[in-house]
Amino acid sequence: MIHQDFEKQMNEVLARNRPLRNKLTSKLLQIRSNPNVGRRMKGVASPDLQGVIWRVQVGGRSGHRLIYIWLPHLNTVIPVLLSPEQKSKFSYRSSGWEECCAQLFEDFSGGRHEAFAVWQDTSESTP
């Protein structure tokens, strides 16, 4: 599943960093087939979100961070945030990732699915 806000944010990051597109597509495919490739986020304040928010590197050691929600009981992965800058410059404190995760989790678990779509790999059709 992909949320319209993530899709917009992802496209903004990819517009500034076109080589990242294929790496992101590859990572999303990998997460879709094996969601526990990432690491669980520590220090999550919300009890509902503890253990379901994960992060993974995209583009190697100096690449970007991808934060996603994994709901194993629903076999669902929801990408939340692709860091706009490389991981060495990315601040978890100022990114608002936890609030974004809480909102997407609330929308999805509350049945407000109109903002979500099934993610499709469009890398081969994209110039």
- pLDDT by residue for the chain (127 residues), tens digit each? 677 888 888 899 999 988 899 999 899 999 989 998 999 998 888 888 989 999 999 988 788 999 999 988 888 888 998 988 888 888 777 778 888 888 888 888 888 777 787 665 555 444 4
Q: Is residue 14 part of a domain?
A: yes
Domain tally for the chain? 1
User: What CATH number does residue 80 fall under?
Assistant: 3.30.2310.20
Q: What is the DSSP letter of 80?
A: E
Beta bridge partners of 77: 70
Q: Is residue 50 part of a domain?
A: yes
Dihedral of the alpha carbons of 23, 116, 105, 26, in degrees to the nearest 10: -10
Distance of alpha carbon 17 from alpha carbon 97, whole angstroms: 21
**The model's pTM:** 0.83
Distance of alpha carbon 77 from alpha carbon 9, whole angstroms: 17
Q: Is residue 126 part of a domain?
A: no
Range of the domain at 12: 2-114
Closest CA to 62 of 81, 87, 90: 87
Q: Is residue 21 part of a domain?
A: yes
